[in-house]
Amino acid sequence: MSKILVSYATKGGDTKEVAEFIADILKADVIEAKNLNENDLNSHDGFIFAASTHGDGQIFANFDDKLGLLNQTDFNGRKVALVGVGNQERHGNDFCSGLSAFLPVLKKAKIIGATDANGYKFNFSRSFINDKFIGLVVDFKGDSDWKSRAEKWAESLNF
């Protein structure tokens, strides 16, 4: 069985809750991104990286600080799924845009788990590419049903 690591960055705890919920379903290890190191990356077969969007559509700083580490990692075809947490009503011009910061540093990874925009209303997101979000996006404060969305998504992943 694949050994999966969920790593998350959160400002106020929303992304932590989402990450732990998903990790529980997949029986995955969980680590906060600020503690993520090379050893963690080398000892797992598949990954879920979860980050909220802050600032002007930026990935939350604690994962921004780890993008260099991810860039140096040879994912060698290993699978990575992405989770963005944001707020479509207040930040509909950049809904979960920060998630897109992972794309340039995940060279050689196989990115899985793209989703469609069903149920969302937003103007723009840098993470919405070719009519798909590049991963799961969660409107934590605006979507009281985020758990069923996240559960379906987690169960659909083929690590």
Ligand X SMILES: Cc1cc2nc3c(=O)[nH]c(=O)nc-3n(C[C@H](O)[C@H](O)[C@H](O)COP(=O)(O)O)c2cc1C
Structure tokens at 123: 């103007």
Q: Considering only the stretches 5-13, 32-40, 62-70, 143-151, report the one whose residues sit in contact with ligand X under the rule CB under 6 A.
A: 5-13
Scan residues 107-146 and list those touching ligand X (CB under 6 A). 140-141
Q: State in Å, rounded, how far the first CA of the chain is from the last one.
A: 9
**Site membership for ligand X, residue 91 (CB under 6 A):** yes
> Nearest to residue 113, comparing CAs of 139, 86, 150, 140?
150
Cβ closer to ligand X: 46 or 57?
57
Q: Residue from 54, 126, 147, 149 that binds ligand X (CB under 6 A)?
A: 54
Cβ closer to ligand X: 34 or 141?
141
Q: What are the start-end ranges of the H helices in the chain?
A: 14-26, 38-42, 61-64, 67-72, 146-156
With vertex at residue 14, the alpha carbon angle to CA 25 and CA 85, rounded to the nearest 5 degrees, is: 85
Cβ closer to ligand X: 16 or 44?
16
Q: Considering only the stretches 40-48, 66-74, 85-93, 144-152, report the one whose residues sit in contact with ligand X under the rule CB under 6 A.
A: 85-93
Q: State whether the Cα torsion 1-145-112-54 is positive or negative.
A: negative
Query: Which residues here bind ligand X, judged by CB under 6 A?
Result: 10-15, 52-55, 57, 60, 85-87, 91, 94-97, 140-141
